[in-house]
Amino acid sequence: MSSSDYRAQCLNAINSKQKVWDLIVIGGGATGLGIALDATMRGLKTLLVERADFAKGTSSRSTKLVHGGVRYLANGELKLVREASIERGYLKRNAAHLVKDQIFIIPVYSYFQVIKYTIGLKIYDWIAGRLSFGSSYFISRTKTLAQLPGIKSKNLVGGVLYHDGQFDDARLALNLAQTIWEKGGYAINYFTTTALLKDADQKVFGIQAMDLETGLQYNIHAKSVVNATGVFADEILTLDNQIHKKILSVSQGIHLVLPASFLPTTNALMIPETSDGRVLFAVPWHNKLILGTTDTPIDKTDIEPKALEQEIEFILETATAHLTKKPTRADVLSVFAGLRPLAAPQSIHQKTKEISRGHKIIVSASGLISVIGGKWTTYRKMAEDTLDTIEKQLEITHIKCTTTNLLIHGSSPNTDFSNPLYVYGTDAKALKKNIAADGNEMISEALQIHKAQIVWAIENEMARTLEDVLQRRTRALFLDAKESIRIAQPVAELMANILHKDSNWIKNQVDDFNSIAKHYLLN
């Protein structure tokens, strides 16, 4: 079934006057998708609505790590580290085409650091238990320089090597949506919630929503509604109650993308102590190098957050202090920002980096359930906890969660991560046939994007806009903003041909994309 056919089928289900959903999930990021999938697997009639595209917000803007959270050890959050380490193991098993073992090395410049980080990472290994990706250990100065070519060698004693996970966040979100469809649930993008439906007792019994593609309004009834909108959770809570206590504290993290030549290795660098008290990663990803991240309190939420100058300078300065090849603004291929939905601080003096990344489930007087906080790695556990809460709310018999062993769409145990098409997993075979039938025609030689991938995104992956394709289906905007702008026109023309759109649509799509993409450029 093509994406267009699926959307039509989804709208037919939404339009059914007699249909009462067991659950409506508002929000198509990691949290919402995980909840909708768990609910579907428990046999609940489930609908997920997302006002933009799946993972448009925070869930496509991470450091691309599936990790237990080394730095959370310093905060004493052993429970969170244990939970994340277990979930990391499940993810590697269930989404084997996207999640892989990544070696990290911490350069150490004193024997005190050797002891400190070796002990800390042994605890990290121990907490992960049988789901550990591998043991950590000290390596010599010579081996450190060989495995991290390009780092500063002055006073270097050696390094501490450890294992964590890496993934492609937006692709995993898409695969979760596809799994929901395959298991009998529904998930639709570009479908915005405008109001909550309430009965005489002010209990929520559904949502009022609008299809952003047609402007049509829908009243959709449900036994339970979950607010899984991340940094926008307070907006949905305002629909529920104009006067409500703010539950979120939002912080921004940015990443700079550089050519791989700045750290020419498959290993990742972890800098454990930066001037702002965070850690900084330099991680190879899709033949590029990601540097990040920052932690800056933000007052205003935005679907397209923008990197601040002080954040850019901080990452460049920190990288310069640790790399022999000094990155400048001119070297940056792309800069992207993401917002973290943190639980509101317990005191006005608490910094955002000190707020727990654990999740919270809040049940309002109206029955609306809101899920806040958490991190990509623990999305499945967040969903399990939420569904257990929903079962109690609906007073239905508990059904055991089955997502710990559920293979995500595309999962393939024998993934060749050196192949540019690896992110498609089991879909790669069919896609390769399409590429061959299309004469191996490229849209971008620099990013190794084939014409057939654009067609595939529209016909099989619910891509509706140019930005969907270039930002989240192919990751072009994140990898090389200038190149993504260059290919915007031909990609839009190809999409228009498939979607039966006119020249005005093409112009609007290119203009809209370029207005977003310019903020990913530094030069």
Per-domain boundaries in the chain: 3-58+170-246+354-405, 98-167+249-348, 423-520
What Rg value do the Cα atoms of the chain yield, rounded? 23
CATH hierarchy code of domain 98-167+249-348 = 3.30.9.10
The sign of the torsion formed by the CA atoms of 491, 192, 66, 296 equals positive
Q: Are 522 and 329 in contact (CB under 8 A)?
A: yes
Which residues, in sequence order, are bridge partners of residue 207?
196, 220
Pairing of strands 288-292, 217-227: unpaired
Residue 473's nearest CA partner among 60, 106, 167 is 60
- Residue appearing with tokens 């039509």: 8
Residues 284/289/291/292 CA torsion (nearest 10 deg): -50
**Do 34 and 143 meet the contact criterion of CB atoms below 8 Å apart?**
no
Burial class from Cβ neighbours inside 10 Å (0-12, 13-18, 19+) for residue 407 reads middle
Using DSSP's 3-state secondary structure scheme, residue 503 falls into helix
Dmax (CA) of the chain: 73
Q: What is the CATH number of domain 3-58+170-246+354-405?
A: 3.50.50.60
* 3 state DSSP class of 79: helix
Task: Compute the residue count for the chain.
Answer: 523
| CATH architecture designation of domain 423-520 | Orthogonal Bundle (1.10)
435: its two tokens: 């590429």
CA-nearest of 304, 250, 308, 314 to 280 is 314
Tell me the residue type at 116: K
- Model-level pTM greater than 0.85? yes
Task: Check: CB of residue 32 under 8 Å from CB of residue 229.
Answer: yes
Joined together, the tokens standing for residue 419 give 């192949």
Using an 8 Å Cβ cutoff, are 100 and 414 in contact? Answer: no
The tens place of each residue's pLDDT in the chain, 523 residues long, gives 666 788 999 999 999 867 899 999 999 999 999 999 999 999 999 999 999 999 999 999 999 999 988 877 777 788 889 999 999 999 999 999 999 999 999 999 999 999 999 999 999 999 988 888 999 999 999 999 999 999 999 999 999 999 999 999 999 999 999 999 999 999 999 999 999 999 999 999 999 999 999 999 999 999 999 999 999 999 999 999 998 788 888 999 999 999 999 999 999 999 998 877 788 999 999 999 999 999 999 989 999 999 999 999 999 999 999 999 999 999 999 999 999 988 765 444 445 454 456 789 999 999 999 999 999 999 999 999 999 999 999 999 999 999 999 999 999 988 999 999 999 999 999 999 999 999 999 999 999 999 999 999 999 999 999 999 999 999 999 999 999 999 999 999 999 999 999 999 999 999 999 999 999 999 7
Secondary structure of residue 271 in the 3-state scheme? strand
